[in-house]
Amino acid sequence: MGGDEARQSLLSEHSNEKNGLQRRRPSALEKEINHRGHNDEKKPLNSLAEFHFRPVLFWLAAYLGGGTICFLLTQHHIKGIKTNGFLDAIYFCVVTMTTVGYGDLVPDSDLSKLLACIYVFTGMALVGLILSKAADYIVEKQEIILVKTIFKGENYGPEQVSKEVETNKAKYKLILTASIFLVLMIEGTIFLYFIENLDFVDAFYCVCSTVTTLGYGDKSFSTTFGRAFAVFWILSSTICLAQSFAYIAELYTEKRQRSLAKRVLARKLSLLDLEAADLDGDHVVSSTEFVLYKLKEMGKISQDDILAVLDIFRQLDFDQSGTLTEADLRPNHD
């Protein structure tokens, strides 16, 4: 029933447009695709990633600033291994925010426990919704550098590099975040070995329990300098690991989608396919109908998407001509 309704809708809305498209070579749709393709090649890759750091820095500063003040004022309600009051407060914020929870500093009153409850939820939301997006943006900015490095011996121009990055976006994101994560793991292990005086196995063990947010607490940062380092390192490493897992899932999904698209495009058309693609029922499949049919097969769009767009077109097509002109877009119609 849904397919019949779609055919009737397209027949009533686009019969004039359909006849015009059949006589044009190349079609308007093909011209638009070519036009957009040329524009995309000229468009710098870095401009595709739009993200503003000011909101991120503002919310992060507000979270850490507010938490530091609250826990600094209630420092007598927190027990554990203490160094510097201000540093301990911001360190406690970061450990709470990332859900590491070593246990070297713990709330010891109803007030401090309620504050910790509030900050653990707001901190998780901040990490998930803002900081991960910032990390994603940074990775996307570095993708083109990574591709140039990998294909250093190849004669790749800017257009080929951009195309390579866009084609394998998830793969290069994963490579970058995994590389950064490995550096942070090594950095943390070395720091704990030399500064916190842990043996190598304990240092590596503490790093692993931290980045995975297990935070057993038997090994942690206990010196003033160590906690100052931990404030930045814990944030970076936990977020980097979370992003790596996200990119693994994205890479798997991207491969499945690409495999499906190849199967759909390589599959030979049958008479049943032509009938299904012929949305207006005139026994002729235009380029527009063919594109829509293949996009539906690849799961890029659904029948509901098509009908929703057609409904908008019908509202804009004031004179019911089956095409949009300047007259249709005028704010007032007599």
Q: What pTM was estimated for this model as a whole?
A: 0.69
Rounded mean pLDDT, 252-272: 82
In this structure, are residues 83 and 223 in contact, taking their beta carbons and an 8 Å threshold? Answer: yes
Rounded mean pLDDT, 240-267: 84
**pLDDT the model gives residue 161:** 63
Contacts of 230 (CB under 8 A, 6+ apart): 91, 94, 95, 221
**pLDDT the model gives residue 58:** 86
Residue 226, pLDDT above cutoff 90:
yes
DSSP secondary structure of 222-245? -SHHHHHHHHHHHHHHHHHHHHHH
Residues of the chain with CATH 1.10.287.70: 53-264
**pLDDT the model gives residue 271:** 87
Residue 50, pLDDT above cutoff 80:
no
| Burial classification of residue 112, based on how many CB atoms lie within 10 Å of its CB (0-12 exposed, 13-18 middle, 19 or more buried) | buried
Element (H, E) at 291: helix 287-297
Element (H, E) at 133: helix 132-150
Rounded mean pLDDT, 153-176: 72
Residues in the chain: 334
Residue 79, pLDDT above cutoff 70:
yes
Rounded mean pLDDT, 269-279: 84
- CATH 1.10.287.70 at 53-264, yes or no: yes
Q: Which residue has the higher pLDDT, 140 or 65?
A: 65
Sign of the alpha-carbon torsion through 3, 9, 12, 18? negative
pLDDT, tens digit (0-9, with 9 covering 90-100), for 93-128? 999 999 999 999 999 999 999 999 999 998 888 877
Tokens of 175: 């490579």
Q: Which band of pLDDT confidence, cut at 50, 70 and 90, is reported for residue 10?
A: very low
Residue 272, pLDDT above cutoff 80:
yes
Helix axes 224-266, 169-194, angle to 10 degrees: 160
**pLDDT the model gives residue 215:** 92
**pLDDT the model gives residue 41:** 45
Q: What are phi and psi of 313, to 5 degrees?
A: -60, -45
- Could you give the percent of the chain with pLDDT greater than 70? 72
DSSP secondary structure of 3-62? HHHHHHHHHHHHHHHHHHHHH-SS-HHHHHHHHHHHHHHHS-GGGG----HHHHHHHHHH
**pLDDT the model gives residue 180:** 92
